[in-house]
Structure 1
Amino acid sequence: MKKCGYIAIIGRPNVGKSTLLNHILKYKVSITSRKPQTTRHQITGVKTVKNAQFIYVDTPGLHQDEPRAINRMMNRQAMSVINDVDVVLFVVEVGKWTAAEEWILQKLGSVKVSVILVINKVDQLHNRQQEQLFEKQIRQKYHFAASFLISAKQGHLITELEQTIEQYLPVSEHFFYAEDQVTDRTERFMIAEIIREKLMRTLGQEVPYQLTVEINKCKFDEQRQLMEIFATILVERMGQKAMVIGSKGQKLKKIGSEARKDIEYMLGKKVFLELWVKVKEGWSDDERALKSLGYDL
């Protein structure tokens, strides 16, 4: 008897959804940073253990304000998945319940699948009584199938959470993915995301939200035993281009060096990485541009 099903991970930006998925998989499929809205795409992570296959869908952070096309796209991606899965993990940050969470809870009102409340970042509060009181207050707002106080960063109660998720997965005659598969995303996608992660972590508050990464070439050189990668960082204004490049190109060089190390670790190969920075005005608010750049509209 096998169990196999889809689990959506939803919540407002920066509550630790991607960190949770990476810890569960023991493999980095979703990039992370301290900045909200780091995740822009649905990322599928697959974990197969004995007779169960968990197919997790990490979604962009949900937000009420939709000022640009890219924000509307991320909301559509996140909301479209919750009715097509078997379990929903609603991730919130301990001690922080905002208008965004209330809005998401309203959206969950029509969901017919089991919703598990996941209260994350308990390692930051260090007060068991306050944690339990917060959990009790939230549980009164919705009929959750279960609730957990976890630390995705430290792995606290993740195993118990997975055991509960398995109870709600449907019985299946076969698995949907190969048992050794971890994600359905391509190498090119993962490489672009690694570069974007380094940009998110290196740059100031504004610039990361108005840039994206496009892989121009990704080819293995058999003779040199080297993966050659050429990528373009797209920004919206000339001033942003200067910020990405930095004084005498030092910032871009640092971003490239850090990204190359992670790409080499992921691929298990030596990598040559070359980055360019190009201005493409208004790309984040242009649905045609977003589609051409590989965003799922």
Structure 2
Amino acid sequence: MACTAAFTVRMPAASRAVAAPAAARAAAAALRPAAPRLTAPARSSSRPQSARGLRLVPRASWGAPVEFAAGKVLENEREAEQLQRLRVQIGGAASAYTKAGQFIQAKFGEDGKAGFFAIASSPGADKENGVVELLVKSQGGTAEQLCTAAAGAEVLVSAPMGKGFHVDTIPPADVHTVLIFATGSGISPIRALIESGVLQAGERKDVRLYYGVRSPAHQAFADAIPAWQAAGVKVVPVFSGQGQGYVQDAFAKETGVSDWGGVAAVLCGQKGMAEAVTELLTSNGVPPERILTNF
């Protein structure tokens, strides 16, 4: 099924009122009560329509309208414990996927609640067919619906969105060490980053991936790890269920870094992990702008 690309549409601003004479304005101001101060623009009860008549659905995350188009689940396979690997057709919207770390919104039915899902395939990997891969954790809501969707199931999808990982800001000439931290399904955009080649791991002194999950059974993309290591990414698995703690614990025990001046990091996963790793890095002098996230 061909899918229509999704775009954000901005509604035109209201036209400005013609200024009244000074005396009239003063009189009107004296009669009307002071307007309350608003911290956010009020939302209209009616749903906005695009110029083409397609319904737009506002999302609370950024407040901008998001247009959904028809998509289709092509494949749905178990990747690891509680994780499903899906190939989803999003049509021409796939051309908007240009940076590893971007995501799509997806939902079932016009009134369904949209979920956010990072793209696991590399940018351009199957752009000709308009297909992207997702790694989805079975945890209720839209994620649960995706995990149980059969091949051929219809789903509404947005175009790829988000800033992605700006690895162009950490070129090998300035950054000799890149430390990557991922937990659970957070490995999804990290896979896209590594396999896209934009990390230029072979041109750096040290590129490490600390990959934390509960057990080997929970480790997604395990069969791809040998290829990642061959490409110059050393993978350090951390299994919390086997008493190894979390990725921040494994890194803190032995950083293996002698020159912090050329270090950058990429983070994707649990908030607590990201905060702990960021504190470890900044306390050793790594600038915040060299700690990359995709949100």
- Identify the TM-score tier after normalising by the shorter chain: under 0.3
Q: Is the radius of gyration larger for structure 1 or structure 2?
A: 2
Q: TM-score, normalised by structure 1?
A: 0.27
* TM-score with structure 2 setting the length: 0.27
